[in-house]
């Protein structure tokens, strides 16, 4: 047992060079978290300048195909749900719409639109409204921004302004899986984005944590995704189950309005909901240490450190999403959907024709080996 607050802080600092920012928060021992009703533990936070009160643990619906999970999340008090126009070819939005029919005023829905010409973007929003069985979207965000240029594109701001004026969207923003720190810093310079959905977990660097704080100070509501860093099942990790610990880590950052862990079962949403209003324990920190050891050399943290290194302009971190989909999520559907993205298909072709790789990962990931793995995964997915 650690003797005092300073010893505990030292213990956290020694966890890993990537687990930062937790030392300033004292740890509390908490009872083992069960799967019972957690109504008394429900925590709400303000989603930036929107003023919306969202549950700190909300739900990423992307991989879920069972409406019973949505119903259980609702019963547990969870009120914010993240989906997208492209998930499951639109079926994901349809499930959300049907599950919450008659309860629309009690839930907050976030969905996405891809950058295109205005006619196609407008058609996408209209489809989302029909599928969701609603007249408005609470938070409409751009899907998967990668560059600071996208974050400050006046053409995209103009479209979102129209959606607000027409009553189709209450608030708007963007999502990003890579270069998150740079994008958040750019977004903080303007008053255009209400919400940012970013990959954020215990493996990320101090620079992202600082960018999250800067964006929150600019009143951008921060929604954290990929909080479980790949979502590996305990069977793959010798029985280790660090997912509550990983979620607690994210929520200890008060600049995060809510987390949207991707869940697929009732058991998983109960496990996540139980984390609200709890803090990291020493046991949790040990779990994160062991999880970090398991992840080392396996996953890209999408830090953006390798951006611009490829002479052909390939975004390797974008390609490495395929590894997470295959190894962690074990979702062939996500890989097939990713292959439909124009830039991803182009990057795969360029990498397959390259005999060497000059990209160096700051976290020690063997990029060349990972690219071979990506190509193997994709080859099997196309069979």
In the chain, % of residues over pLDDT 90: 59
DSSP-derived letter for residue 220 is P
99 to 258, 314, 369: CA distances (angstroms): 21, 40, 43
Q: What is the CA radius of gyration of the chain?
A: 20
Question: With contact defined as beta carbons under 8 Å apart, do 109 and 81 qualify?
Answer: yes
Model pLDDT, residue 5: 43
Model pLDDT, residue 238: 82
Residue 1 pLDDT more than 70?
no
Mean pLDDT in residue range 87-98: 96
Residue 362 pLDDT more than 80?
no
Entry field: residues in the chain: 383
The residues facing 57 across adjacent strands are 259
- Residue 105 pLDDT class (50, 70, 90 cuts): very high
Lowest-confidence pick of 24-33, 125-134, 262-271, 341-350: 24-33
- Each residue's pLDDT tens digit, 44-64: 999 999 999 999 999 999 999
- The residue among 177, 273, 191 whose CA lies nearest residue 224 is 177
235 to 231, 240, 300, 327: CA distances (angstroms): 12, 8, 21, 12
Question: With contact defined as beta carbons under 8 Å apart, do 232 and 243 qualify?
Answer: no
Model pLDDT, residue 320: 76
Mean pLDDT in residue range 188-216: 94
Question: With contact defined as beta carbons under 8 Å apart, do 81 and 95 qualify?
Answer: no
DSSP β-ladder status, 169-176 and 258-259: unpaired
Of 331 and 276, the one with more pLDDT: 276
Q: Where do the domains of the chain lie? A: 33-279, 316-382
- Each residue's pLDDT tens digit, 295-327: 887 777 777 777 778 887 777 777 777 777 777
- Each residue's pLDDT tens digit, 138-181: 999 999 898 899 999 999 999 999 999 999 999 999 999 888 99
Neighbours of 330 (CB within 10 A): 13
How far does CA 374 lie from the centroid of its chain? 21
What fold, for 33-279?
TIM Barrel (3.20.20)
Instruction: Give the pair of three-digit tokens for residue 220.
Output: 């951008």
Residue 242 pLDDT more than 80?
yes
Model pLDDT, residue 55: 98
The whole-model pTM stands at 0.84
Model pLDDT, residue 24: 37
What is the residue-averaged pLDDT of the chain? Answer: 85
Model pLDDT, residue 342: 58
Model pLDDT, residue 356: 75
Identify the residue whose tokens are 């040990």.
Answer: 286
In the chain, % of residues over pLDDT 70: 86
Model pLDDT, residue 167: 98
Lowest-confidence pick of 122-126, 373-377, 378-382: 378-382
Lowest-confidence pick of 3-12, 92-101, 118-127, 213-222: 3-12
Mean pLDDT in residue range 54-82: 97
Mean pLDDT in residue range 28-44: 52
361 to 27, 175, 266, 354, 373: CA distances (angstroms): 33, 23, 37, 18, 16
């Amino acid at each position: 047992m650690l003797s005092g607050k300073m010893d505990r802080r030292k213990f956290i600092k020694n966890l890993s060079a990537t687990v930062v920012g937790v030392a300033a928060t004292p740890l509390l021992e908490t009872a083992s978290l069960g799967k019972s009703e957690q109504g008394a533990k429900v925590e709400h936070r303000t989603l930036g300048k929107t003023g919306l009160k969202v549950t700190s643990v909300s739900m990423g619906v992307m991989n879920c195909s069972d409406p019973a999970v949505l119903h259980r999340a609702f019963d547990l008090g969870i009120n914010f749900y993240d989906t997208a126009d492209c998930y499951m070819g639109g079926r994901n939005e349809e499930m959300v719409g049907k599950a919450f029919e008659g309860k629309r005023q009690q839930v907050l829905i976030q969905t996405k639109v891809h950058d295109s010409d205005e006619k196609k973007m407008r058609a996408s929003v209209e489809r989302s409204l029909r599928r969701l069985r609603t007249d408005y979207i609470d938070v409409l965000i751009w899907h998967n921004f990668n560059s600071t240029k996208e974050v400050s594109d006046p053409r995209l701001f103009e479209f979102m302004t129209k959606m607000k004026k027409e009553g189709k969207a209450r608030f708007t923003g963007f999502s990003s899986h890579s270069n998150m720190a740079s994008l958040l810093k750019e977004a903080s310079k303007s008053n255009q984005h209400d919400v940012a959905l970013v990959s954020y977990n215990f493996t990320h660097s101090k620079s992202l944590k600082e960018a999250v704080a800067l964006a929150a100070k600019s009143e951008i509501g921060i929604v954290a995704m990929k909080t479980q860093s790949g979502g590996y099942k305990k069977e793959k990790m010798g029985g280790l189950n660090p997912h509550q610990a990983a979620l607690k880590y994210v929520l200890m950052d008060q600049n995060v309005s809510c987390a949207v862990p991707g869940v697929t079962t009732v058991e998983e949403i109960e496990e996540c909901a139980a984390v609200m209003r709890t803090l990291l324990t020493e046991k949790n920190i040990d779990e994160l240490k062991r999880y970090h050891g398991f992840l080392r050399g396996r996953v890209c943290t999408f830090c953006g450190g390798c951006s611009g290194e490829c002479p052909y302009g390939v975004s390797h971190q974008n390609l490495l999403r395929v590894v997470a989909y295959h190894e962690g999520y074990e979702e062939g559907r996500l890989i097939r959907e990713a292959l439909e993205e124009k830039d991803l298909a182009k990057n795969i072709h360029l990498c397959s024709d390259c005999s060497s790789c000059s990209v160096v990962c700051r976290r020690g990931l063997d990029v060349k080996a990972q690219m071979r793995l990506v190509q193997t995964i994709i080859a099997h997915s196309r069979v």
